[in-house]
Amino acid sequence: MKTIGVVTSGGDAPGMNAAIRAVTRLAYAHGFQVLGFERGWEGLIQNRFRRLDPRSVGGIIQLGGTILLTSRCPEFKTPEGVRKAAQNLAANHVDGLVVIGGDGSFRGALELSRETDTLIVGVPATIDNDVYGTDETVGFDTAVNTAVAEIDKIRDTAVSHERVFVVEVMGRRRGFLALAVGLTVGAEVILVPEAPLNMEEVYKTIRENAAKGKRSGIIVAAEGVGDTRKIARQIEENTGAEVRLSIVGYAQRGGSPTARSRLLASLFAEKAIRLITQGFGNRVVGLQRGEITSISLEESCKNQKQLDTRLLELAKTLAT
């Protein structure tokens, strides 16, 4: 019997369960058995897996999180850890491995691909949307909608009290989430790690808005821009506005996946299983200009996805 392994790795994202479900049912439809490795790369190192079948993935498409659990696994950043994982793939005769995760997980997959003949295919699933080779990752749409719903509520109290709110969203290194959320809540200012932090520009925007009678405002900041508590204090000290900080936090990582996140998960899984059944490995599937495509694992890992900073200007104009 041929075997496909599936693993969820790195930061969890809404839609990972939809991807696990689709991988399992599509693999079965192609005559494969499925091993679900638990807790990310740790599961491959420790050879911890559970057998999945079409019934075991029933009723999970709507669930956030991952039934296989996930982890961040420092041991996998060592050659010994990668070697152990490769040995376990061989011991279980795993023909193909679907890795559901983000850019870090794919860097791990690239290391593993050099130690195994197992066909490895990545399904991009992270709320950061920072995987090179896809316009959108599984979970991103859900996280954006979660943050937007929270910030729309914050906007109510900001307007009522004529306050400025600094709202921190996730994104330790990249600003894709902050930019999409900022645009869609009508933020007056959006701060992303990719753009230098110019506090004088922030003060100027707040002062100009107040002069026009717009005394409340929303500043969406990716957590990677720095100490948002300090940023809020500096704005208050330099503009005279009453400023509060609100952190959306880990709610962005959970919740029932949106239809879009479920759709991407299912389409990416279908592409991944198709690649493996056709004998292709070391690929990352993605959505590019409306098409479900794939690029090499190496190309995805060696390149950095660019943020369209022109959208920052668009957001500024739309918020005047």
* CA 319 – CA 14 distance, rounded (Å): 30
β-strand 291-296 against 283-288: which pairing, if any?
Answer: antiparallel
Task: List Cα–Cα distances, 242 to 153, 164, 167, 202, in angstroms.
Answer: 18, 6, 14, 14
For residues 58, 59, 61, 63, the Cα torsion angle rounded to the nearest 10 degrees is: -130
Catalytic residue among 128, 130, 135, 156: 128
Q: Is 128 a binder of ligand F6P (CB under 6 A)?
A: yes
Binding partner at 8 among ligand F6P, ligand ADP, none, C-beta below 5 to 8 Å by kind: none
Phi, psi of 312 (to 5 degrees): -65, -40
Stretch that binds ligand ADP, among 96-104, 140-148, 181-189, 224-232 (CB under 6 A): 96-104
* Cβ-based neighbours of 242, under 8 Å, separated by 6 or more: 161, 162, 163, 164, 236
Query: How many CB atoms are closer than 10 A to CB 317?
Result: 7
Task: Determine how many CB atoms are found less than 10 A away from the CB of residue 286.
Answer: 24
Does 126 bind ligand ADP (CB under 6 A)? Our answer is yes
Among 121, 127, 158, 221, binds ligand F6P (CB under 6 A): 127
Enumerate residues 175-234 that contact ligand F6P by CB under 6 A.
Answer: 223
Q: Of the ranges 50-58, 100-108, 208-216, 303-311, which one interacts with ligand ADP (CB under 6 A)?
A: 100-108
Active site residue 130: no
Stretch that binds ligand F6P, among 18-26, 55-63, 120-128, 234-242 (CB under 6 A): 120-128
CA nearest neighbour of 219 among 210, 207, 237, 232: 232
Q: Is 170 in the site for ligand F6P (CB under 6 A)?
A: yes
State the Cα–Cα distance between residues 236 and 30, nearest whole angstrom.
61
Does position 50 interact with ligand F6P (CB under 6 A)? The reply is: no
- Between 110 and 127, CB nearer to ligand F6P: 127
Beta bridge partners, 49, equal 37
Q: Which of residues 10-69 bind ligand ADP (CB under 6 A)?
A: 10-11, 41
Min dist CB 129 to ligand F6P, Å, is 10
- Which one of residues 2, 77, 207, 233 is an interface residue with ligand ADP (CB under 6 A)? 77
Point out the residues that are catalytic. Answer: 128
Residues that bind ligand ADP (CB under 6 A): 9-11, 41, 72-73, 76-77, 101-105, 107-108, 111, 126
